[in-house]
Amino acid sequence: MAVIPVPDKCFIPFDVPIARDVLPEKFTYPFSYKPHPLSLLAVEKLQRHLTHQQEWEHNFGLEEGQAGTVIGKMFGVLVVETSECEIGFLAAFSGKLAGGYHHARFVPPVFDSLTEGSFLNVGMAELTRINQEIKTLNERMSDENLEKIDTLQKLRKSNSVALQAKLFDHYSFLNQAGEEMNLREIFQGNANSNPPAGAGECAAPKLLQYAFRHSMKPLAMAEFWWGLSPKSDYWKHGHYYPSCREKCEPILTHMLANISMDEMPEDCFA
């Protein structure tokens, strides 16, 4: 894959020069870690941006009277070294932020499924059409309609399965050796299962994908929750969290292949 020049909009330099003797010797073990001091420095800068930016609006539940549903969000930082030996970091969010995938200072998604005219939008529109036809036939119940409904339900199922498989195939992930695997290959090879919904949209895979595509060396990472979580007491504002095992472990196993990592701390989250 061709090397893409580093866009300034995603690589964020630190506010002070970083001496080489403070760089981590090994990469962060993503499933249990104490954030490296450089990761903490990157998080501090990102959180200042989240607190003061005026470019987009998202209701994290941190301001009274803000419109919209409260949706806390996982953010991640990846401390990197560029091919020009610059030290800085990348930032990412899980899923969508303020209703979109693309925002200044944040790396893009591994695959943007919501572009206008994309196969996903076309496929979802067809599923919606089938659902509406089934609903109309149900309202005019007859023996003939029952046969049509059965045929449409089978068509809906086959279309849905094919659409999901095509989506998984479009999520391809790199590692430092330039080896590329899509979601289905990763999960069938690592966990012998199909990928769960939302796999590949977490912050850590986005960060590593961008780093490898732009010839950056990953040095350290950290992920934190920003905002309130009405659905679970587990997510707490400002707290650090490990990468998820269900969605991320098979992906990160591929992406971090042959990268020397820290050992899992005994007194840290699991």
Q: What are phi and psi of 168, to 5 degrees?
A: -60, -40
- Does residue 269 belong to any structural domain of this protein? no
User: 196 and 96, same structural domain?
Assistant: yes
CA 78 – CA 88 distance, rounded (Å): 8
Cα separation of 226 and 92, whole Å? Answer: 12
Place of tokens 């893409």: 4
**How many structural domains comprise the chain?**
2
Question: What pLDDT score was predicted for residue 206?
Answer: 97
Residues 85 and 203 in one domain: yes
What's the confidence (pLDDT) of residue 2?
46
pLDDT at 183: 94
Answer with the one of 129, 163, 197 that is the final residue of a domain: 163
| Coil, helix or strand at residue 207 | helix
Residue 189 has pLDDT above 90, yes or no: no
On whether residue 7 sits in a domain, the answer given is: no
- Report the percentage of the chain scoring pLDDT > 70: 94
Model pLDDT, residue 190: 73
For residue 178, pLDDT over 90 is answered with yes
Closest to 46 (Cα-Cα) out of 210, 169, 224: 224
Query: What is residue 218's predicted lDDT score, i.e. its pLDDT?
Result: 98
Distance CA 264, CA 269 (A): 10
Say if residue 44 is in the same domain as residue 153.
no
Give the containing element (helix H, strand E) for 119. helix 119-139
**Parallel, antiparallel, or unpaired: how do β-strands 172-174 and 217-226 relate?**
unpaired
Q: What value does the mean pLDDT take over residues 88-94? A: 98
Give residue 184's pLDDT. Answer: 92
Residue with the two structure tokens 């279309």? 159
Query: According to the per-residue pLDDT averaged within each range, which of 7-11, 163-167, 174-178, 229-233 is highest?
Result: 174-178
The answer to whether residues 128 and 63 belong to one domain is no
> According to the model, what pLDDT value does residue 268 have?
66
CA pair distance 110, 190, nearest whole angstrom: 20
pLDDT average, residue stretch 131-151: 88
- Is residue 184 located within the same domain as residue 210? yes
Note down the domain range covering 87.
Answer: 12-109+178-255
| Alpha carbon distance 193, 168 (integer Å) | 13
Average pLDDT of the chain, as a whole number = 90
Across the range 104-128, mean pLDDT stands at 87
